[in-house]
Structure 1
Amino acid sequence: MTVVAFDFDGTLSDSEMTVLLGDRCGVADDMAEITEASMNDEIDYAESLRKRAALLEGLPAEDAQAAFDEVVLRQGAADLIEELNEAGVTTAILTGGFERGVAAALEREGVSVDHIVANRLPMNEAETESEAKASDNASGDQPRALTGDVTGSLIEGTKDTALENLAGDVGADLEDCVAIGDGANDLPMLQVAGLAIGFEPKPAVEPHCDVVVTSMAEAREELVADGVLEEH
């Protein structure tokens, strides 16, 4: 049994979810600066994610969904996932990004993976009319919006643990697992996988990669060379 675990933002997708969300509330530049520092291992990932989520407090639900709907897979990603699925390889996405953005991108391409481990951005509950009147607010229902919090196993938790748990669940050896990622938060899974593929990796990440690729076509070539996929 082989497992291929992908990072999402910067790997399967060239979108950056927090920046797309930040565009909706005018904090995209701040988001990008925090993200870049985190991916280069200049600040702690959990701290960076919480800072970015806090900047999104109050973003209405419809604006958040519109941002998630902009998330797209990079060229060739859907085809590679589909080929891995057809070959009987267990496919996974391990991302510090957000479930709803991953789901939107996969659904748009009509492709799925076996496992998704991702974070979530909670929303407040809409205030009912009776609750609004009780608080002297006669405006009726209040719109749902992001709380500024973030939840999920990949905030403090790391991707090596996620990969180890997944491998155990499907009966795979870590030596038979492939990890594909680009940023500092991908380092743990890249370091424990049998094959570590850096997808345009950040400078702090590249030394820990077995190979470096710049496209999904190149990633496929490495999977063929490793015996995960067959040559056409």
Structure 2
Amino acid sequence: MQHVLTLIAPAGQLPASTVTRVRDALTALGASLGPADWLAEDSAVDLPFEGLAAEQAEAAARAALDGAAVDTVAQAVEGRRKRLLIADMDSTIVTSETLDELAAYAGFGEQVAAITRRSMNGEIDFSTALRERVAMLKGLSLDALEATWAQTHPMPGAAELVRTMRANGAHCALASGGFTWFTGRVADKLGFSSHHANVLEDDGKALLGTVTEPVFDRDAKLTTLKRLCAELGLPLSAAVAVGDGANDLAMIGAAGLGVAYHAKPIVAASARVRVDHNDLRALLFAQGYRRAEFVS
């Protein structure tokens, strides 16, 4: 079979009856299906198929699921396991927005968070929004960075995603519109191969309210994806990109497997592959890894 449809649900929430309903929907459209291959009992299954385009199979599956908490990924079997992971950090690899948390120490938490929401949904220019938010941090003690880091936690499944892909020879990179002060620490903690982000400027005691230019924005994320592929000798099709905000759309669209992760509306509407119901381990199932292969 040339294609595979993967159904992924939270643990224990993918009954055989649901899988049968999806199989019947694909068969009704003229697809030929191979035997179901369970990647994790009651939570992830591969359905090999041919006779339909991946987009058609995915649309049919979503219709058959009728709102059930199941994520779907349809793709070609060849080249399914990726050799490069490029991931956004805030609200993707970590659970929080580090700039918003940092701004709370400066007394501008709600104001900055509102700008962040608009920026991540593509309503305002990212670079302009970043400079505006960082300016509010001028004079903030560097101790606030340490306090924010203490409250920063990995997204469920993040460590397994990175460690499993690294163990299988992949380069794992963070590409964040946030700051290297945090991406470096996240990279060290979770095992990323490299990290790329904005540089907060300070005088050794407090923040200056500026970042080093140029801003690491949507275009920079795409450029980083292309550069890493070139350096690693990989086609873009060998990369998986994941993020939740509008500044992730370019890299999500260019990667072989581009994933909108619990994403803002504009991102969810634009990306073909979405993870709405599961944690980051869904990206491993999407690549055909079995639960027994995950590196904890």
User: TM-score band, normalised by the shorter chain?
Assistant: 0.7 to 0.9
- Shift, 1:156, TM fit: 7.3
> In the TM superposition, what whole-angstrom CA distance separates every residue of 1:137-171 from its partner, at most 9, and x where no partner exists?
xxxxxxx1000001265147431111001110111
Aligned counterpart, 2:223: 161
AA of the residue aligned to 2:145: A
Alpha-carbon distance in structure 1 between the residues aligned to 2:101 and 2:87: 20
Aligned counterpart, 1:95: 176
Aligned counterpart, 1:33: 114
- Shift, 1:230, TM fit: 5.1
Aligned counterpart, 1:222: 286
**Aligned partner of 1:150 among 211, 215, 220:** 211
Q: Is the 8 A contact 2:142 2:207 kept in 1?
A: yes
> In the TM superposition, what whole-angstrom CA distance separates every residue of 1:180-228 from its partner, at most 9, and x where no partner exists?
111000011011111111101111111332211141132222122xxxx
Aligned counterpart, 2:131: 50
Aligned counterpart, 2:25: none
Alpha-carbon distance in structure 1 between the residues aligned to 2:206 and 2:219: 26
RMSD: 1.7
Alpha-carbon distance in structure 2 between the residues aligned to 1:72 and 1:120: 21
Task: Classify the secondary structure of the residue corresponding to 1:8.
Answer: coil
Alpha-carbon distance in structure 1 between the residues aligned to 2:96 and 2:185: 12
Aligned counterpart, 1:120: 199
Q: Is the 8 A contact 2:218 2:248 kept in 1?
A: no
Aligned counterpart, 1:187: 249
Task: Classify the secondary structure of the residue corresponding to 1:74.
Answer: coil
AA of the residue aligned to 1:58: G
Task: Classify the secondary structure of the residue corresponding to 1:158.
Answer: helix
Q: Is the 8 A contact 2:95 2:153 kept in 1?
A: yes
- The structure whose RCO (Cα within 8 Å, separation 6+) is larger is 1
Aligned counterpart, 2:43: none
- Shift, 1:62, TM fit: 1.3
> In the TM superposition, what whole-angstrom CA distance separates every residue of 1:65-124 from its partner, at most 9, and x where no partner exists?
2213322211221121111110111111111111121233344xx431112111111101
AA of the residue aligned to 2:146: Q
AA of the residue aligned to 1:146: L
Alpha-carbon distance in structure 1 between the residues aligned to 2:103 and 2:270: 31
Aligned counterpart, 1:64: 145
Alpha-carbon distance in structure 1 between the residues aligned to 2:217 and 2:165: 28
Q: Is the 8 A contact 1:80 1:220 kept in 2?
A: yes
- Shift, 1:40, TM fit: 0.6
Q: Structure 1 residues 29, 153: CA separation in 2 closer, same or farther (over 3 Å shift)?
A: closer
The structure carrying a bigger strand percent of its residues is: 2
Q: Percent identity?
A: 31
Aligned counterpart, 1:138: none
Runs of 4+ more than 6 Å apart: none
**Number of aligned positions between the proteins:** 208
1:83 and 2:164 aligned:
yes
Task: Classify the secondary structure of the residue corresponding to 1:205.
Answer: helix
Q: Is the 8 A contact 1:71 1:105 kept in 2?
A: no
